[in-house]
Structure 1
């Protein structure tokens, strides 16, 4: 088992247990689980356990996965709009986490504008994708992908990317996370 997945599961059990625990002994046990998860996270992420504990303890309510959205944008030749990311030097679709008060559709539109300079309109749903904690982050993640139609704007690379281009899906061999699967699903 991936250590981040283990620590995330412990953290979720602890946080959700604290929401419902009435017994002081149960509360103490859940606090200890949260402390253990924080210690593990701290070791893996190279952060002081107390800092990790405070950040994890501040989360309110029942713990749920992080959510985000991806936009599949094509040109007239059917090539995908993709960006080579600064952080891992892999190709990705315009995408990002959903902000508070923002729908996933709005996320796809905003992220496309921020990362590519283009305005888009959501045309339809490609799919909903789940990614467990691990290589791409310490949390469960649910990503929602949309086919988007181009509108205005000028193609321009953001600070998050090294390159921005329309490319055929077959020409890309180094995809970020699950973006190849999403791209292929959208083009089928």
Structure 2
């Protein structure tokens, strides 16, 4: 079984267990669903090298009916029409600034917060460029299932920081000369597609 197929299989197991815990009242069924979660956490820990308690805590944080998570990313261009990228501290690779939406936070508010935290810049989202399903693009297999919202943002203040608690560098790059990207977060073809849409003045948002 290849890595993508295994990831999707484990994701389906976790979604089934989570739905069962949400709606089941029989204590034996509840125990079975929790056992499914624990077995999946143990397998993921072995595969990723992370502590099983950390993965179990992540699983436990998700409750109610299972739905995809939402990741937001900002496309910010400078006067030379180069794209702002940040280097992630976690893997040393580059990406558009962004991250997960928090509970109670709109996607637009989330992208403003993420850009400020990762770059020091204040931005204003002006357009939703795309809403994409990670499963339909060439991202490496990764849990949980996520949708990705890409916003065009204008910078209107702040100072570009070279290091934050989450990033170790920031800079503007031509779309034709991108550094090595963190492909869990963004793909070269996505950046170039979004850039081309903006350059062409295409106002329609892409979606899967």
Q: What is the TM-score normalised by the length of structure 2? A: 0.77
Q: What does the per-residue CA deviation read over 1:137-164, in whole Å, with 9 as the maximum and x for residues that have no partner?
A: 4211111000011101111123333321
Structure 2 vs 1, CA of residues 104 and 53 (structure 1 numbering), >3 Å: closer, same or farther? same
**Hey, what does 2:206 align to over in structure 1?**
none
For 1:97, which of 95, 100, 107 is the aligned residue?
Answer: 100
Structure 2 vs 1, CA of residues 152 and 57 (structure 1 numbering), >3 Å: closer, same or farther? closer
Deviation at 1:135, TM superposition (A): 4.1
Please identify, of 136-145 and 19-28, the stretch whose mean Cα deviation from structure 2 is larger: 19-28
Q: Is the 8 A contact 1:126 1:185 kept in 2?
A: no
**Hey, what does 1:185 align to over in structure 2?**
193
Whether 2:173 is the aligned partner of 1:170: answer no
Deviation at 1:18, TM superposition (A): 2.4
Deviation at 1:32, TM superposition (A): 3.3
Q: Is the 8 A contact 1:114 1:158 kept in 2?
A: no
Structure 2 vs 1, CA of residues 161 and 23 (structure 1 numbering), >3 Å: closer, same or farther? closer
Deviation at 1:94, TM superposition (A): 0.8
Q: What is the TM-score normalised by the length of structure 1? A: 0.85
Please identify, of 109-118 and 40-49, the stretch whose mean Cα deviation from structure 2 is larger: 40-49
Structure 2 vs 1, CA of residues 62 and 87 (structure 1 numbering), >3 Å: closer, same or farther? same
Deviation at 1:77, TM superposition (A): 1.5
**Hey, what does 1:142 align to over in structure 2?**
147
Aligned residues: 187
| Distance (whole Å) between structure 2 residues aligned to residue 54 and residue 120 of structure 1 | 33
Structure 2 vs 1, CA of residues 48 and 120 (structure 1 numbering), >3 Å: closer, same or farther? closer
| Distance (whole Å) between structure 2 residues aligned to residue 48 and residue 88 of structure 1 | 18
| Distance (whole Å) between structure 2 residues aligned to residue 90 and residue 47 of structure 1 | 20
Provide the aligned C-alpha RMSD in A: 2.4
**Hey, what does 2:11 align to over in structure 1?**
8
What does residue range 20-99 of structure 1 map to in structure 2 within 5 Å? 20-23=23-26, 26-47=29-50, 49=52, 52-53=55-56, 55-99=58-102
- Unmatched 5+ stretches in structure 2: 197-208
| Distance (whole Å) between structure 1 residues aligned to residue 53 and residue 157 of structure 2 | 47
Q: Is the 8 A contact 1:129 1:143 kept in 2?
A: yes
**Hey, what does 2:130 align to over in structure 1?**
127
